[in-house]
Structure 1
């Protein structure tokens, strides 16, 4: 069983409890949850050697050939089956000549297998309703390969077909010479797209941390040399060695009787018979001090290998780790109590580091963490982002905070504060366990197997926490802190702009320098309570309540002009979503406001409200489920939070107070300013970075409000300017509140009246002119340059379409057309040319603007392939206009879209998104009624007509991102 100490992807339990799912579904009925008995089993295989109470919702078993499985019923979402097949074969299982083979086989499994001919796999899964890339996917890590399928519209027949096809993929992939030759260029394209300064830094970090161990040289992506040398014989040899029943675990969760799942697993995987004797897993190695390792005075681990990078486009950064050998543990309750105490100790230190950073220290951010990495090492990590180039001061300050934790126990108040956060998180897991998604549940088992631990029900997790709370003392926390910083070696990596800024000798001297404990970052035991805060104003009254005609959702009008959309729904027990929409969004800004727009996105909520500073906000929400999200949309600003009924009124208070009594603390803005300045140069390190920096402004016709501010522009900003831009925005424009979820309607209306109903009447918003316009057609591409690898490029081509709510059906039909385009471009660029790992086509249709819609196609590729991308894209556009797509092409798109909407529409998030703004504009509800038909019903002639109307090559625009100095043909 795993706790907060695990970092993704190693976490098998707690992170799934903490996660807020994007699409949640209704809770299953009591009858639906348990219509069958749990299989009688002495001790399920995953719990052997553990005293963790088994999660009885799971049925665990083993086939006679050694395949292990875990299955459970789950209706979130309804009529979906989530299947995960984990094979104990990752990059650490490769020999020197096989680097990259585990990942290559992942690709080849999807290419051709026993029941699926060349090119049939993706279309067949699409016919079954699965969306490629989200519902059908796979991953390769150093320790495993996992095949992931989420099949909608499930019934016994479709489940039978799913397991049949999947068994053929796992047991009998073709792995032909032609398949290898076709797939290697695609894998190399994927490898290329990951290149640049970021990859160099990641590789250097891995090689430094795991020096002398297998992981140092075993990146899953492999090497160019070994991949180009791959052939049918060598790939099949790797497959034969590791793809065996005893190395395979199948995890299934979904809307099907578990007994049927077991029968189908036995039917399709039970006769898998691997040839030859099993091969033992290789030794992954252990961290061992090198000849130059030396311990600083009083240090708990000797300083060993250190690496200094000089990547001027990346921010100055320091990371180091204290390493211990990985050991398989007995996953017991006592062990997990120890993990929780470790996490408690780290949370206390992290809060102190954050406190010091907020106060304007020498570092922008710093954090510690712990993870058992790839069953290779038990590691405590320290990461630091210095403020500016004075990395020595930042390193010394962080080490001083850690030294304080090592030498002096924490206070009882600090312990209580962090335990409150843990209990809140685990309680939420219990409250919302009925809507745990099948995908997460299936993943949890895979992750637990990977780290050789167990899974546990949310109630068990909470009980373990509560059982250990009374045992934790300051002295025990200090002991765990010292254990976390004790190890075989300390290894580190630093990036600075140039040699003059620092080298390995300087880094080593700083790591070995004596450090004096700094207790100044310890937080005050300050009590902050909502009960002590002033009221927003005189409570308003509800003047009208009316149904919108969709489900039981109601519009609510308050006496001060605030409108609300309220839905009491038990679809997601324990969850309440809140959105507050106000003002005019991007239209509220002037043409010179871009730096303040970016600063506001990062810092506006942190500047506080009323009497509450950022630290006070942390304190007042301790042990509560509250949020302070903020976003800017075309025509409105949005506050957002995921909360629960018990915390709803206080959550509404914070949002209302931000509008009525904003605070203007400078430090959050200064910190955001420093972060934006430091990160700017890193955009230039890859085509993708340049695209993130510049593309949106191009797509907005050069609108300066969508520009990424430069460091020079940011340096000119100040707090007075920030307040000048944002204060009138918070004070003006209509307000609408949306509350969806597990609430008591009358209590929610009363809370609205006391908070948003108490706001003073607001001024009319003063919107600037709409500066955005369509991109102009281009006769030659707009060329941007990057400073990354010379073999990296990106290309974008777009065709203007339309915008506005009156064209909602057209916008949805265009999404079908875009996905048909995407399938054709995928085949052309990835399959035929091997030129791009993942070309993508999508449609955007702004609902609150008069223009700005477009179909966009983009890809990452080599510079020389950019013209071919444009040529192929224009050809596809012309072909779609010249001749209608086939019915089969359309069904490959519409069936996954239909299934996606059917699954999503069972949860609150779907309705919250689709009905956004309905409180002020009830007509928006009308468009929701046709959404399923609009996305899933069309004709070849309708698609051709849309292509003829919008895919006009003389209206298209092109953007190419190429290396500096490269001349586009």
Structure 2
């Protein structure tokens, strides 16, 4: 795959806080005697993480090796190369990315497709585990594998050694890959790409970057000579531009010896080219462009003000970087508050100071405007920037923003011994490629702890004056064609700036409530019964009001507690007339305040707390989901109690939601994917409002009073609620909260079940073809629908069928026919309201290829129906599932999903203990049987998206 980083080029802001350059040193903070704010060594270089083994071979190859046992028996290995698309000559455009592809299509020790095949047999998933990306300045390969198999570990290192320099680059494989890359390119075509092509030269100041997008050009991918690719490989895949990053459950000494043995013989070619560091020059002028497209669905205004990069090398630099984070937090909180007003001036807005590209940083501000209201939205954004310029921020805003960073620092430190290997890989990867700091856990914690008290509001206020300036400013407007006549030219845009600068402003008033969250504290209830679920180390409690609570204490995290609850019912119990109010009830309550705090007061109250509790009302259930740490548990349970007993839908929240929803859907019929999706749903459900995207008429039917009434009805009776709590607690710690806040919830002892609405797909398959879109590309979605026998045996065989067909379709449609970039089979099964299934294969391709590829897809399906899957593909599925289960069983989120799901479906949660036994029962014949039972020709629905017929 290819990426464009660090700037986002499709209507998104750049990364807001990305630091650069840290000089390596083995001195810890303590060793530097940086013990108090008044003794900080401001110009001391930032310390390098002492927990990682680093080295540099004689040939210039670097390595970073660290032992980390989260997850156990796993290791993550990355090969980083400082080679990206910016290094390409005109005849090599697109070849950095093409070469990344070729490293999966024939290596010295893994010819042709043997690499993917070998790793899949070890349980490594292609795409989600085994992957790579190419950017402007780097190409990175990733390989997470089990570390408890010495042979696999040895071969995994050999893979990275081959990636470093031993791609075979045979003519046959190069020609096969051309089609795959062209399909990747085709898939990326659309409104975002067309608009980007217009504004990118301005955004990148016509630098080399603007003509070196990693995907390349169609002409070059089709026509480059083999030797041009090989020359690029020889010139740039060399040890002085490469580093190996290995983090996991390994023996560091043994791994270092193996790395030295394998990578010492890497050679650099004679007379190799220098690695030029390309820059985006500052032009010292302002630029403006407005671009439109018929498929654009909303209007975006973006301001980018470029500045020389501020490298983060010293303690002083690190402190300044924290100041920028505080600034970003405060200004975005103000914009969020403005966006929640009764008549919001925009759909969305955001601001941030961060890194850009090519030696630059940038101040970015953007606004997503309501239809035909760009001036109103743009001025609202400018007004807030000017308000900060004139009056600055308040002390209370500052303290809240600091508290967010302080809490994040404390949480990271508490969880340091539970940190996943991937996070360490990212740390060293960014250090090597981007010169970002690579602080150790203790040093990072100490620095933040010491630096945060030294920050001042005055300094943060100065950042706005330093970064929000009127030079090196780009203004980019992106809009639908139907707004072309209303868009400003540069002179008009400058007049908006001048008008806001001249407008008299008042200082921001930070309204903070001192009231407690709840108006009345609940009366404590009790536990009346309990049952040990010994085999899954859990416990079930019955409370005095009928509430059921399932507890699973874990040690997977040091301070993470997940909470979920459900009750049967949902919107299924309400008429079509009430549907829109019912379906938005949970969202509207969740967006409002609780108890005595309105939405803005609640958001400010929650700042710096690691707590989130949200209610929902879905089609068949209502409930609560969220998380907290131990410190936040009292607030989490207060919020749960409040959402049952003191919910609200505020006028401003209701009006804001209606206004934004109306704005967001105004131009969506211009989007080919939306039109296609809508047509599919219409053909499947005959336009039933419960399955269709909400219309403008539907929005008007959302009634504020009725939505709140429905919500209160759904949460009036807790007696049929099941709460699941998973994480780092003991029963003794959690029980007081359960008794006070859950056992006291209102109880009516209603007996409710969700209603079967009878909304199902037609019995017989059909074909729907939609013509929409400018680009010459096709999307095919092939889906089987029907009744299903829901049981563990059928479910696991359906999962196996999904896996083996995905493997076969990738081999056939991608590798053999070069017709797609990606494709997959997806199985979905449901137990309620009645047993149903869907099985989908989808892909994008060329207009002249889709029919042949559909034929190939159906041919592969028929092969499985006739002969069953290959035993080798089935074994890949089994080992992958086994390896994934090993990881899942040590994740709080897995147990939350598993326990809550089991209770919701009325299943035995201990069945997870038998999964491996059930997995071993899968056979070629059992998968064949499932394929024949469900993938019937009469149940096949074909949905095709093609370009406009005039194209």
Q: Following superposition of structure 1 onto structure 2, how do residues 677-826 of structure 1 map, counting pairs within 5 Å?
A: 677-680=662-665, 684=669, 688-690=673-675, 703-732=688-717, 734-762=720-748, 764=750, 769-776=755-762, 780-786=766-772, 788-800=773-785, 802-803=787-788, 807-826=791-810
Gap runs ≥5 in structure 1: 16-38, 294-302
Residue 315 of structure 2, aligned match among 323, 328, 333 = 333
Structure 2 Cα separation of the partners of residues 130 and 419 of structure 1 = 42
SS of the counterpart of 1:965? coil
Structure 1 residues 474, 886: CA separation in 2 closer, same or farther (over 3 Å shift)? closer
* Cα deviation, residue 699, structure 1: 6.3
Equivalence for 1:356: 338
The answer to whether 1:304 aligns with 2:290 is no
SS of 2:844's equivalent in the other structure is strand
Compared CA separation, residues 550 and 69, structure 1 to 2 (3 A) = same
1:675 paired residue number: 660
Give the Cα–Cα distance (whole angstroms) in 1 for the partners of residues 495 and 837 of structure 2: 57
Tell me the equivalent position of 1:428. Answer: 411
Instruction: Spell out, residue by residue over 1:874-893, the C-alpha distance to the aligned partner (whole angstroms, 9 max, x if none).
Output: 22222111112222121122
Q: Structure 1's 181 and 402: CA in aligned 2 closer, same or farther, altered over 3 A?
A: same
State the 1:391 CA deviation.
Answer: 1.2
Task: Name whichever of 175-184 and 307-316 sits farther off.
Answer: 307-316
Q: Which residue of structure 1 lines up, in the alignment, with residue 126 of structure 2? A: 132
Judged with a 3 Å threshold, the aligned counterparts in structure 2 of structure 1 residues 193 and 669 are, in CA distance, closer, same or farther, namely farther
Give the stretch that moved more between structures: 432-441 or 762-771.
762-771
**Alpha-carbon offset, residue 337 of structure 1:** 0.3
- Whether contact under 8 Å (1:12, 1:455) holds in the other structure is no
Instruction: Output aligned runs, 1:499-898, within 5 Å.
Output: 499-505=484-490, 506-511=492-497, 513-516=499-502, 522-528=508-514, 530=516, 533-535=518-520, 537-585=522-570, 587-591=572-576, 595-596=580-581, 599-600=584-585, 602-630=587-615, 635-680=620-665, 684=669, 688-690=673-675, 703-732=688-717, 734-762=720-748, 764=750, 769-776=755-762, 780-786=766-772, 788-800=773-785, 802-803=787-788, 807-898=791-882
* 2:301 alignment counterpart: 318
Cα shift at 1:739 = 1.1
Mapped partners of 1:893, 1:549: distance in 2: 30
Q: How far has the Cα of 1:937 moved from its partner?
A: 4.7
Question: What is the deviation of 1:671?
Answer: 2.9
Q: 2:137 & 2:16 partners in 1: Cα distance?
A: 14
Does structure 1 residue 443 correspond to structure 2 residue 413?
no
Aligned pair count?
A: 923
Query: Do the aligned residues in 2 keep the contact of 1:562 with 1:736 (CA within 8 Å)?
Result: yes
Query: Structure 1, residues 330-368: CA drift from partner, whole Å, max 9, x if none?
Result: 521110100001111221111111122212331222110
Q: Does 1:342 align with 2:342?
A: no
* TM-score normalised according to structure 2 size: 0.91
Q: Deviations over 1:427-449 (max 9, x none)?
A: 11111122211122212221232
Is the 2:161–2:263 contact (alpha carbons within 8 Å) kept by the matching residues of 1? yes
Contact 2:301 2:368 in 1 (8 A): yes
Secondary structure at the aligned position of 1:135 is classed as coil
Larger displacement relative to structure 2 (159-168 or 469-478): 469-478
Counterpart-to-counterpart distance in 2, 1:861 and 1:629: 40
Structure 1 residues 394, 555: closer, same or farther in 2, change over 3 A?
A: same
CA distance in 2, matches of 1:43, 1:547: 48
Cα distance per residue 1:395-441 (max 9 Å; x no partner): 12211111121222322211111101111111111111222111222
Give the gaps of 5 or more residues in structure 2.
1-5, 33-42
Task: Quote the Cα distance in structure 2 between the aligned partners of 1:225 and 1:635.
Answer: 52
Distance 1:14 1:582 in 2: 46
Structure 2 partner of 1:35: none
Contact 1:701 1:776 survives alignment (8 Å): no
**Contact 2:795-2:829 at 8 Å conserved across structures:** yes
Change (3 A) 1:284 1:820: same
Give the Cα separation in 1 of the matches to 2:205 and 2:627.
Answer: 43
SS at match of 1:113: coil
- Whether contact under 8 Å (2:570, 2:620) holds in the other structure is yes
SS at match of 1:279: coil
1:158 is displaced (CA, Å) by 1.6
Q: Displacement, 1:133?
A: 0.9
Range with greater deviation from structure 2 (496-505 or 472-481): 496-505
Question: Counterparts of 2:242 and 2:586 in 1: how far apart (Å)?
Answer: 46
Moved more, 622-631 or 946-955: 622-631
Q: CA deviation at 1:321?
A: 0.5
Instruction: Report what 2:39 is aligned to.
Output: none
Q: Relative to structure 1, is the Cα distance of residues 156 and 785 closer, same or farther in structure 2, using a 3 angstrom cutoff? A: same
- Structure 2 distance, partners of 1:96, 1:316, is 35
Which residue matches 1:407?
Answer: 390
Q: Kindly state the Cα deviation for residue 311 of structure 1 after the two structures are TM-superposed.
A: 4.2
- Which TM-score applies when normalising by structure 1? 0.89
> Do the aligned residues in 2 keep the contact of 1:347 with 1:418 (CA within 8 Å)?
yes
Deviations 1:92-113 (A, max 9, x none): 2222332221111111111111
Partner of 2:252: 258
Once the 2 structures are TM-superposed, how far is the Cα of residue 137 of structure 1 from its aligned partner?
0.7
- Structure-1 residue corresponding to 2:40: none
Contact 1:412 1:474 in 2 (8 A): yes
Q: Partners in 1 of 2:442 and 2:677 — Cα distance?
A: 42
Assess if the C-alpha contact under 8 Å between 1:528 and 1:620 holds in 2.
Answer: no
Cα distance in 2 for partners of 1:43, 1:768 equals: 59
